[in-house]
Amino acid sequence: MLRALSRLALVSAEEALLGLLRHLESQRYDFVATTPATHERVLARDETDGADRLRAFFGWNRAFRPEQLPVPVLTLLRAARSLAAEGDRVRSGVRVARLGDRLFLHSAFPTDSPDAVFFGPDTHRFVRFAGQVLAADPRPVSHLVDLGAGSGAGAIALAGHVPGARLTLVDRNPEALRLAGINARAAGLAVNLVEAGSLSAVDGEIDLVIANPPFMADAAGRAYRDGGGRHGADLSLAWAGEAARRLKPGGRLILYTGAAIVGGEDRMEPALCALLAGLGCTCSYEVIDVDIFGEELDRPAYRNVDRIAAVGLVAEKTGARTS
């Protein structure tokens, strides 16, 4: 074991993080990522003593003294250049959370940097919604594109619904693609990584686009969070339009996003469905959760918003399907 650990200085940061995921799996590590508001509340408690240290370290992202942590964990993080010193303690530069039967790397807390890679309850809702759509209407898929892939959780978790499909993960954030690539390798999947903010850089025909776009109004402009104008709706509309233009006949878009409810009115549904109808697509829209991220209503950008709902849309490009 010591000889194997000593060789880690020679491997890449990506190989070390892949080794970390495999090590945590061998330790039966488990953690469910929360919203930032919940995370902050838990961190406010002093619960490092007696805690499950791997969960506290990689889930809640707490700092520990090096001697409190397993040697393999410290060695792997040092090899990955992802261990930060804080006085006599150290903190992981990545977090790890579980979705289904897979572990996923994502960014340290708090996710304040412009290139932060977010993973949380929205990820679970997105994957559950898309999985239900694909299970209810299975059909052959030759090319799945995860637009705004982030950690890669969407394509990775849904790969079993589209056996044999080419998997393309698109994100404008290089750090997201780096972690997504490692997460995919840990899951035993070959994926194409495309650094871009749109589908224009993706080659070939596309018969399935999945997307969980940023949908908040974010003054800091963080890539994983900022959906632009109209209370964060602009990016969802732009991506839906792009997908509709690129899908081949019979192809589908599965979109998970947020809708700001103003004066009791959901303005996202008519805007999305009108846009997609004009681009030759049918449109099915549903509310997944009526009230999410309520703490955002305290911010000036949401002063006239009743609530934020999680919504899902399925669009199909009209025309003959190909099998």
Count CA atoms closer than 13 A to 4's CA, side-chain side.
6
Q: What is the per-residue pLDDT for 222?
A: 83
* Count of Cβ atoms closer than 10 Å to residue 67 Cβ: 8
- The whole-number mean pLDDT for each consecutive block of 10 residues of the chain, a chain of 323 residues, reads 47 94 97 96 79 93 95 96 97 98 97 93 98 97 98 98 98 97 98 96 96 90 84 93 97 97 96 97 98 94 95 90 43
Q: What is the per-residue pLDDT for 132?
A: 98
d(CA 41, CA 22): 30
Homologous superfamily (CATH) of 121-317 is Vaccinia Virus protein VP39 (3.40.50.150)
d(CA 150, CA 171): 7
Q: What are phi and psi of 212, to 5 degrees?
A: -130, 75
What pTM does this model have?
0.93
d(CA 140, CA 160): 12
d(CA 39, CA 264): 30
Q: What is the per-residue pLDDT for 5?
A: 47
Calculate helix-pair angle for 234-246, 268-278, nearest 10 degrees. 20
Domain boundaries, the chain: 13-107, 121-317
Q: What is the per-residue pLDDT for 10?
A: 52
Residue 312: name the closest of 171, 136, 107 by CA.
136
Q: What is the per-residue pLDDT for 107?
A: 98
Report CA Rg, the chain.
Answer: 20
Q: What is the per-residue pLDDT for 217?
A: 87
Strands 83-86 and 89-92: antiparallel
Q: What is the per-residue pLDDT for 48?
A: 65
